[in-house]
Structure 1
C-alpha cells in the first residue's frame, strides 16, 4: 500500500466532520506509542512549552541517575537510549529553541556525568556531535536567543 501525500490527506480531512476526525485521531493513537505521544504533546503540552521542556529535563535527570556505571558498555548503551528519546521528544515540538535548550542540557548532563566521559571515545564523540548539532540549529534562532544560548554553549566546550 502506498501512502498518500500530505496534500491529499489534508484535502480528505477537510471533508470529514468533527466526530469523524476525533475517531480517526483516537484510532491513530492506538497503533503506535509515538503517535500517542505526539497526540499527547499536541493536545496537552504544545500550549505550555516551558513545562514540556521541564518535563523532558526531569526525564533526563532521572535517566542519568539510573545509569548502570559498572562498565562503559552499559553507560554508552544507556546514554544512546536517553539521546534517542530526547531526539524523539524534540521532533514533537516545532520550536527550534526547544531543540537547542534540550541538546545543551543533554550535553551538560553528559559532561558532568561520573565516571568522566573523557575515558570513552564513543561518549566524547556523541557529546561533540550534539554540540555541533546545537550550534547548527542555533544559527536559525533570533539574535537575542542566539546570544543567550551561545553563552551556555561556550561553557560546554568540546572534549
Structure 2
C-alpha cells in the first residue's frame, strides 16, 4: 500500500471530528518513538523555543565526553540526535543556538579530533549548516550569531 500525499492526508484530517482526530494522534504516537517525540514537542515545547533549545543544549552537554578527544561513532550519534530535535522545531534561530552550542562545547572542552578526518569533517559540516541557516535570518540577528561563532572555525586547525 502506497502512502497518501500530505495534501490528501490534510484533506482527510479536516473531515474528522475532534475525538477521531485525537484517536488518530494517539495511535500515531503509540507506534513510533519519533512520532511521540514530535507530538511532545508540538504540544509541550513549541510555545517556548528558548526553553526547548536550552533543554537540547543541556542534553548535548551530557552526551559529549569530558575527554580531550571524541570517537567518530559518538559524534555521529550526537549529530543524528541533534538533527532530529532541530527538525522537530523547524525554527532557524533554535537551530543556530543548538549547532553553535554544540561547536562551542568542542572549543571549551578542548576536544581534538587527533588524526580522525571523519570527525573533523563532521565538525566542518556543522559550521556549514550554521552558515546556511544564518543566511535566512535578519542581518541584525546574523551579526549576533556571527559574534557567537568567533573562534569556532579555528578549532579545525
Give the TM-score of the pair, scaled to structure 1.
0.90
Alignment of 1:59-74 (within 5 A): 59-65=59-65
CA displacement 1:23-49 (0-9 Å, x = unmatched): 000000011100000000000000011
CA displacement 1:69-100 (0-9 Å, x = unmatched): 5985xx21111101100000000012111111
Q: Compute the displacement of 1:111 (Å).
A: 3.1
Q: Secondary structure at the match of 2:47?
A: coil
Q: Compute the displacement of 1:12 (Å).
A: 0.5
1:133 and 2:129 matched: yes
Structure 2 unpaired stretches of 5+: none
Cα gap change, 1:156/1:70 in structure 2, threshold over 3 Å: closer, same or farther?
closer
Structure 1 unpaired stretches of 5+: none
State the Cα RMSD in Å.
Answer: 1.8
Q: Residue 43 of structure 2 corresponds to which residue in structure 1?
A: 43
1:97 and 2:97 matched: no
Q: Secondary structure at the match of 1:140?
A: coil
Cα gap change, 1:71/1:108 in structure 2, threshold over 3 Å: closer, same or farther?
closer
Distance of 1:9 and 1:115 partners within structure 2: 46
Distance of 1:82 and 1:11 partners within structure 2: 37
Query: 143, 147, 151: which is aligned to 2:143?
Result: 147
| Number of corresponding residues | 155
Q: Secondary structure at the match of 2:131?
A: helix
Distance of 1:42 and 1:70 partners within structure 2: 37
1:33 and 2:29 matched: no
Q: Compute the displacement of 1:115 (Å).
A: 4.7
Relative contact order higher in (CA < 8 Å, ≥ 6 apart): 2
Distance of 2:117 and 2:53 partners within structure 1: 29
- Contact 1:110/1:127 (<8 A) preserved: no
Q: Residue 86 of structure 1 corresponds to which residue in structure 2?
A: 82
Cα gap change, 1:81/1:56 in structure 2, threshold over 3 Å: closer, same or farther?
same
